[in-house]
Amino acid sequence: MDANQLIQPLNNTSSSLQSTPSMTRDMQWLFKVSIYTFLLVAGLVAGTLLNRFYYDQGGNSMWLQTLTYCAGFPILCIPLLLSNQSTSISAAKPLPIAKLAVIYAVFGIMAALANLMYSYGLLYLSVSTYSLLSATQLGFNAIFSYFINSEKFTYLTFNSIVLLTFSATIIGFQNDSDDYSETFGGKYLLGFILTLAAAANCSLILSLMQLSFDKFIKRRELSVILKLQIYTAGASTAAATVGLFASGEWRDLKGDMDGFKKGRLSYVITLVMTAICWQVNVVSVVALVYEVSSLFSNVIYSLGTPIVPLFAVFLFHDDMNGIKVMSLFMALWGFSSYFYQHYLEYKLEKRERIGVGEPMVA
């Protein structure tokens, strides 16, 4: 028997043994990303609908709503304690406390500002209009990712971003009967502008978070994600609390609770559940930035955009008119384009890993 014939089975066995751990890592990564994706979308849908429910039942405190976006962070201490018990020691050198404090403070203040703008946007807009406008966050993030994170774009990626952004912005030029422009003295335009500004702000935060993970923090542990969100939300909560007292809204909180149509208990439950839902959402957003990229996280965030209005039609009787239906189809087209690009990249990586074929270009 030829010596090469004896060596070939050994090479095949070695290749198979090397590919097995790689496949296991791929499956573990895919499982984590799938869990984060589900939690992100679920938190987004539930949080947005609960915010709208608060306003529909007579709630009217902007700063209190702003607090619901960040004040639920203490619940994250539970998974943080569990993760610390099973976290392996990282080889990366911990970042100095002073630098970490600056990062947390900057993210916290930026998040508080974005939360306040989103609160006003949701007050002056319907759920469907608000949700579709929020999808422009992806377009802003594409710009920031290109300049801050050196994100590479292909035709499919660019096509996806254009479709998703355009699908969200076209509804801003309609005369929407289910918006609250008449009720609030023609403040539809203000809500429109504030929602777009909040989307840009959130996009910048995500790109800066990715930069922080890549250049400064560098530690690959679940506890890092949780600590980043806990400290950032803590700073954001402090800023929102200052705003609540400085604006004088705290004096109206008792009347806000008494005027809630479903009663005081429902008022408290609504606020607590809203705060929890937003923490689930934000932690999942940060986790996807950590595991993949800020742009990928934003695409998944936008995935909840066409889902929220569907629930709003049944729960709040929003009008799903022709422009919004067209916008939803364009959003789904954009999602398909982006995920197909990731499918091509996965096939390319898999083929290069085993040394077969030429690189594919999308």
Q: According to the model, what pLDDT value does residue 94 have?
A: 64
Where does the pLDDT of residue 10 fall: very low under 50, low under 70, confident under 90, or very high at 90 and above?
A: very low
Query: Mind giving me the DSSP string for 85-154?
Result: HHPPPPSSPPPPHHHHHHHHHHHHHHHHHHHHHHHHHHHHS-HHHHHHHHTTHHHHHHHHHHHHS-----
Structure tokens given for 308: 């929220």
Q: According to the model, what pLDDT value does residue 128 have?
A: 66
Between the alpha carbon of residue 236 and those of residues 64, 71, 175, 204, 210, the distances in Å are 13, 8, 35, 16, 19
Q: According to the model, what pLDDT value does residue 112 have?
A: 85
Among the ranges given (190-199, 228-237, 293-302), the one the predictor scored with the smallest mean pLDDT? 293-302
> How confident is the model over 228-274, as pLDDT tens digits?
889 889 888 998 899 899 988 899 999 999 999 999 999 999 999 99
> What is the number of domains present in the chain?
1
Residue 141 covered by a domain: yes
**50-86 as b/e: b if 16+ CB within 10 A:** bbbbbbeeebebbbbbbbbbbbbbeebeeebeebeee
Residue 114 covered by a domain: yes
DSSP three-state, residue 63:
helix
Average pLDDT over residues 57-86: 85
Where does the pLDDT of residue 299 fall: very low under 50, low under 70, confident under 90, or very high at 90 and above?
A: confident
Residue 350 covered by a domain: yes
Q: According to the model, what pLDDT value does residue 24 have?
A: 75
Residue 48 covered by a domain: yes
Above 90 in pLDDT, residue 360?
no
Residue 65 covered by a domain: yes
Average pLDDT over residues 328-345: 76
Q: According to the model, what pLDDT value does residue 220 have?
A: 63
Residue 361 covered by a domain: no
Which is more confidently placed, 186 or 184? Answer: 186
Range of the domain at 296: 43-354
Please write down the long-range contacts of 18-25, taking CB distance under 8 Å and 24 or more positions apart.
Answer: 19/353, 19/354, 22/353
Cβ atoms of 283 and 226 within 8 Å: the answer is: yes
